[in-house]
Structures are given as C-alpha cells and as structure tokens.
Structure 1
Amino acid sequence: MTNVAIDLEAQRPSLHAHVHDAVAPAHAEGQQHPIKLYLVVWGWLFVLSTGSYLVDYFGLQGYLRWSLILLFMVLKAGLIVAVFMHMAWERLALAYAILLPPVLVLVFVAIMVFESEYTHLIRVLFFGAPA
C-alpha cells in the first residue's frame, strides 16, 4: 500500500506539468484576435450608426422609420456582443445563458403590447369612453 502512495506522489508533479502545459498555451492564444477584426467591426459600427442618423436626416416617418432604427440598433448590439464581449468564441451554453433572458424579456414585452390593446378595449366598453 505504501508503494502505491509513493508512486502516486511521484506522478503528481508530472500530471500538474502536463495539465499546465495543455492549458497555458491555449489560454494565451485563445484571447488574441487580429487588430483587423476590431477595425472591421468598428467600420461596420460606423456605417450602421450613419444609417441610423440618415433615417432622421431624411425625415422618414411611421413604421419604416422605427423598423430601420430598430434594425440598425439590433445589428450594432449584435456586433458589439459578438466581438467586443467575445460571445462569438464562448461555449454555446454560456451564450444562451447570457443572450436568452433578454430575448425572452422582449417576447414578454411584445405579448404585453398586444394584451394592452385588448385591456384598453375592454375598459372602454365596460366603463365607457373617457370624457
């Protein structure tokens, strides 16, 4: 029994060295991205922001205006989350844990918007038109 304990003690430093060698280079290389990637994303953010401001400059109104503003906003947020917050390189479970709750909140807000129209209609029918 003591021979087994001595043998395990002799193997422990080598196991630690192998684990350290396997983890350290991956960590150092995995966090470095080429500067070109960040410059391209910065350029796209500039283009999308320009498009968002042009919607106001040209005076678009109604659903087209809000659709374009929301589209530009979602695209910019997606680029920022994917590249600058490193979500593009995370495991899928972590990405779902961070991205799924805001998506569900937006779904619930949309449900409440549709529900509010029904609630307003019922109140007008039941209580009468506001004076």
Structure 2
Amino acid sequence: MSQTTSHAEMQPATEGQPATKGEVQHHPIRLYLVVWAWLFILSTCSYLVDYFQLAGYLRWSLILSFMALKAGLIVAVFMHMAWERLAFIYAILLPPTLLLVFVGIMVFESDYTLLSRVTFFSAG
C-alpha cells in the first residue's frame, strides 16, 4: 500500500499559517540573528549608561527600559511566545502591566501619606 499525503501536508508551515499535524514549524535563522543583534545593541546601550556616568532617575529608567526590552525579545523569540496562543501572551504581559499600575497607585498613595504625616507631626 502506498501512503498518500495531501498538498497541505507536504508544504512547510509559513509564518501566517499554523503547522499541520506532524509538521514542525521552523523559523528562519535570519530572525534569530536579528534578535541577537538587537540584544547586543541594547546591552551596549546599557553599558554606555554606566560609561557616561549617568545618575539618578535617568540612569535607572534607562537601565530598566533596556532590561525590559531585552527580556521581551528573549521571551517573544527564544521562548516562542510570539507564536503562542493569545492566552499565553496574556499570561506573560498582563501580570507585569498590572504590577506597574499598582506601583503607580502606590507612588501616589505614598506622596499623600508623606504629606499627611509631615502635616500632622510638624503641627505641634
């Protein structure tokens, strides 16, 4: 008996199409090289923040921004989250976003608490 395969099963999966049963989706090597180049560029920028001796909020905001961009690239490409279902993407992106919102709320609350303590304890 000869095995017959359909035309769809013989073609490799493209970026817009999911892999059919029994196929493995391979990404072009160019994608990984571009991501490695961006990681190198972002790491260089992070190093330059220290080299130029930036200080204060500018330093920490740049370092944290570069760190978040590098982590996002690694998770998206090397952990294949860019090609996963939307639920998995929400599992990665939603918690840090909510944490940033809560940190922002706490910053405003801390300013109010400090102001009320200074007002209460200094009036005497």
The Cα of 1:53 is off from its aligned counterpart by: 0.8
Aligned twin of 1:84 = 78
Q: Which of 60, 65, 74 in structure 2 is aligned with 1:66?
A: 60
Q: Which of 93, 115, 126 in structure 1 is aligned with 2:120?
A: 126
Q: Which runs of 5+ in 2 are unaligned?
A: 1-8, 10-19
Aligned twin of 1:41 = 35
Q: Are residue 103 (structure 1) and residue 97 (structure 2) matched?
A: yes
| Residues paired across the two proteins, number | 106
CA deviations 1:77-126 (Å, max 9, x no partner) are: 11111101111101222211222012101110121112111111111111
The Cα of 1:44 is off from its aligned counterpart by: 1.0
Query: TM-score, normalised to structure 1's length?
Result: 0.70
Higher Rg: 1
Aligned twin of 1:94 = 88
Query: TM-score, normalised to structure 2's length?
Result: 0.74
Q: Are residue 116 (structure 1) and residue 110 (structure 2) matched?
A: yes
Q: Which of 22, 25, 31 in structure 2 is aligned with 1:24?
A: 22
Q: Which runs of 5+ in 1 are unaligned?
A: 1-20
Q: Which structure is richer in relative contact order (CA contacts within 8 A, separation 6 or more)?
A: 1
Q: Comparing both structures, which one devotes a greater share of its residues to helix?
A: 1
The Cα of 1:72 is off from its aligned counterpart by: 1.2
Could you say what the CA RMSD is over the residues aligned between the two structures, in angstroms?
Answer: 2.1
CA distance, structure 2, for counterparts of residue 118 and residue 84 of structure 1: 43
The Cα of 1:33 is off from its aligned counterpart by: 1.8
